[in-house]
Amino acid sequence: MMPAVPDSHAHSNPLLGIAFKLSSVVCLSGMAACVKQLGASIPAGQTIFFRGIISIAVLTMIAWQSGNLRLLRTGNWRAHAARSLAGALSMFCWFTALPMIPLAQLTSISFTIPLFLTVLAMVFLGERIHWYRWTALGVGFAGVLVIVGPELTIGGENVLGIAISLLAAVFAAFALMFLRRMSGSEHALTITFYFFVTSSALALLTLVFGGWPMPTTTQWLLLGLTGIFGVLGQLFMSYTYRYAEASLIAPLDYVNMLLAVAIGFYAFGEIPQFSTWLGAPLVIASGAIILWREYAQHRRIRTAQGITT
């Protein structure tokens, strides 16, 4: 899932930032487990719709209780449409791939998002890529090849799921690229709200491809938990970078991988292949290098401009 834009008025409190990050990781891992448990019995569109409705209700309640309902208004429809559409397509791909491949494998592929974002920024935003980014990209994509290599051989069982999850990472990178253009003008709650409005509307359209089944009691519970875990994960992530620097937060993504392995093993009997253990650290490290260097460059620019927040 895509993190919301952090608040521009940061308050240094690294321990609180780490707590928010870990809480976000736990919630989003819980959401992924619920979606995987629902499996193919509940279509991805149906799951996304109910997740979106719950998230919209929670975000509206937060805006109302804060006395700031104007946060749900915007005049920047074009930017919201581009970001929300890319994010929604990414979510559809993630939710479709979740029942198809092991959770640890999908999680490791999700770490390619910073790599794709770097390429997109070069192609569409004209950003220069220096040697350290090229090195990180090379290491990262080598890690991807290590992870998916065994599946690309003849008879690989998870090729389709891997292809869909890689497509999800590409769409997520597009969403982040659009997000960059909005970070100075739109509040995190506003961006998150319209993302869920868009994804819910698109999910509702999937009814034309076939009716949604009536969920069982257990499935209703899982759908509800998917929505609650999802919106809490988004909110916790949006607060993470208010209190801690990106260079401190990035390594905590390793926790996401460990949780994916634990949940996959205990809940679904999945044992990660050796290729996943070998390739995932390469992908995670390359992404962390890119994010850290980008943050360091941003800090230098802000220092040069006399901005000390």
pLDDT in tens, 112-124: 888 888 888 888 8
Q: How many independent structural domains does the chain possess?
A: 1
Q: Is residue 4 part of a domain?
A: no
In this structure, is residue 2 part of a structural domain? no
Interior CA angle at 190 toward 108 and 212, to 5°? 65
| Highest mean pLDDT: which range of 91-105, 175-189, 286-300 | 91-105
Q: What is the predicted pLDDT for the residue at 299?
A: 66
Q: In terms of pTM, does the model score above 0.75?
A: yes
Domain for residue 173, yes or no? yes
Residue 216 lies in a domain: yes
* CA–CA separation, 107 and 162 (whole Å): 11
Q: Is residue 285 part of a domain?
A: yes
User: Mean of the pLDDT values across residues 287-307?
Assistant: 66
Cα torsion through 178, 179, 184, 185, rounded to 10: 80
Residue 238 CB partners (closer than 8 Å, separation 6+): 3, 4, 5, 6, 7, 188, 189, 192
Asked if residues 80 and 191 have their Cβ atoms less than 8 Å apart, the reply is yes
Among 79-83, 104-108, 144-148, 213-217, top mean pLDDT goes to: 213-217
pLDDT reported for residue 159: 83
- pLDDT tens-digit series, residues 169-198: 999 999 888 887 776 677 778 888 899 999
Looking at every residue in the chain, the average pLDDT score rounds to 82
Q: Quick check: is 223 in a domain? A: yes
285 contacts: CB under 8 Å, gap ≥ 6: 139
Q: Which of 21-35, 85-99, 142-156 has the lowest mean pLDDT?
A: 142-156
Considering the domain boundaries, does residue 8 fall inside one? no
8 A C-beta contact, residue 159 and residue 151: yes
- How far apart CA 108 and CA 280 sit, in angstroms, is 5
Q: If you count them, how many residues does the chain have?
A: 309
**What pLDDT shows up at residue 1?**
43
**Does 277 map to a domain?**
yes
The range of the structural domain enclosing residue 154 comes to 14-304
pLDDT at 34: 95
Residue 138 has pLDDT above 60, yes or no: yes
